[in-house]
Structure 1
């Protein structure tokens, strides 16, 4: 039985997508990556510091979306977020902090508070990718 592209997208909603993961909590980063891969994604990273994040951001590869921890080793992720926004790459934030820590320029970016429901996050990211960029 052939699988239609639509049903394939339901079974693996991130299939064929390259998702950038920036998270400094090792086990959470690993869990996010495993979840995304199980849903068909190619994962860029995960990386746990801004220097490595910038390296991936500038390696010339295509990124379809990103999940960014707001606070990476006591540094705010906003320089990475600004560049993703300039490139029209969908992204969402994760944090253990309040939304008030988010720069006003990113108030429209989805924010998931830790602890995170990983399958729900992956499906929300897939829906975000499906939205047209403004």
Structure 2
């Protein structure tokens, strides 16, 4: 059964994360993510386009939840995933990779959104963000 995404922000679930970090190197995808996540009722959305930028944002103020594109320009986001896991911050991967060969075994239990994904799939991940492996 697919989740129904409410059109009315007042009808949004109260349990959305307050602050979401999006790690995405494609500006258009990042801006689309930001807009959609904000429409779901998330009050703060921060974007990083590299591992260094993401780690700096986490050090400045840890997010409630993060969405990590695996393949950034010339690096992978696994260093960010390690930091988030160490801080027990839930996160999900967003990827264009098919299959599980790109994922280290320690992340096999993490949710993955495959690009392209639907608005409903993103909503489902955010609605259930607390169960996205915080440890």
* 2:118 paired with 1:117: yes
- Is the contact between residue 21 and residue 65 of structure 2 (CA under 8 Å) also seen in structure 1? yes
The normalised TM-score by structure 1 is 0.81
Runs (4+) of structure 1 moved beyond 4 Å? 12-16, 130-134
Equivalent residue number for residue 96 of structure 2: 96
Q: How has the CA–CA distance of structure 1 residues 119 and 54 changed in structure 2, closer, same or farther, with 3 Å as cutoff? A: same
| Partner in structure 2 of residue 39 of structure 1 | 40
- In the other structure, the counterpart of 2:20 is 19
- Shift in alpha-carbon separation, 1:15–1:113, aligned structure 2, 3 A: closer
* Equivalent residues of 2:69, 2:94 under 8 A apart: yes
Q: Distance in 2 between matches of 1:112 and 1:76?
A: 16
C-alpha displacement of 1:131? 6.9
Q: Which has the higher contact order (CA 8 A, sep 6+)?
A: 2
Q: Which residue of 1 aligns with 2:82?
A: 82
Structure 2: distance between partners of 1:42 and 1:131: 19
- Structure 2 length normalisation: TM-score? 0.81
Shift of 1:94: 0.7
Q: Determine helix, strand or coil for the equivalent of 2:125.
A: helix
Are the structure 2 counterparts of residues 83 and 24 from structure 1 closer, same or farther at C-alpha, using a change threshold of 3 Å? same
Is contact 2:88-2:134 (8 Å) kept? yes
Aligned residue pairs total: 126
Q: For residues 107 and 9 of structure 1, do their structure 2 counterparts lie closer, same or farther at Cα, with a shift above 3 Å needed?
A: farther
Distance 1:16 1:113, change over 3 A: closer
Structure 1, unaligned stretches of length 5 or more? 1-7
Q: What 5-or-longer segments of structure 2 have no aligned partner?
A: 1-8
- The RMSD of aligned alpha carbons is 2.3
